[in-house]
Amino acid sequence: MEVQVFGVKKNPDTRKALRFFAERRIRTHFVDFAERAPSLGELRRFTQRFGLEALIDRDSRAFADRGLHSARLSEEKWLDKLMDEPLLLRMPLVRQIGQGVNGLSVGLAEEEWRAWTGR
C-alpha cells in the first residue's frame, strides 16, 4: 500500500498523518504545498468525492486574513483560489494510490486510514 499526503509541514494534522503512516511502515509520498501548489486535477479529484465545502478550511487564519467569510464565488473561482492559496485548504488531503475516489480523505481521518490499512 502507498499513500500520497498533500499539505504543508507546518500543519499539525499533516504531521500527524505522516506519523500515522510512518508508524505503520506505509510508503508515503509527501507533496508540500509550500513548494508546489495543488493542481486543478488534484483538487477536482477531492471535490468529486467530498464536495468543495469539505476542502475549504473556513476556520483557518488564512481564510480570516483574506476576509473571505462573505465571499460568494463559483466553484471554478474557488478552485482557482485554492490553487493559488493552498493554506485555505483543510489539510491533509490523503490519497491511497491505486484506489480511485474511494481511497481519499480530507483532514485528520485516522479511523478511515485504519480501515485502509487494516491496522
pLDDT tens sequence for the chain (119 residues): 899 999 999 999 999 999 999 999 999 999 999 899 888 988 999 999 999 889 988 887 777 776 666 667 677 887 888 888 888 889 999 999 877 667 899 999 999 999 988 86
Residue 77: predicted pLDDT: 82
* Per-residue CA distances from 84 to 1, 6, 28, 103, 117 (Å): 31, 15, 25, 25, 33
Predicted pLDDT of residue 31 = 94
Report the CATH number at residue 32: 3.40.30.10
The C-alpha cell that represents 41 in the structure block: 486535477
Which cell numbers hold the place of 79?
478552485
Domain that holds residue 53: 2-117
Helix (H) or strand (E) holding 106: strand 104-106
Number of domains forming the structure of the chain: 1
- Give backbone dihedrals phi and psi of 30, rounded to 5 degrees, phi first: -100, 130
| CA gap 63, 34 in Å, rounded | 16
Cell of 90: 483543510
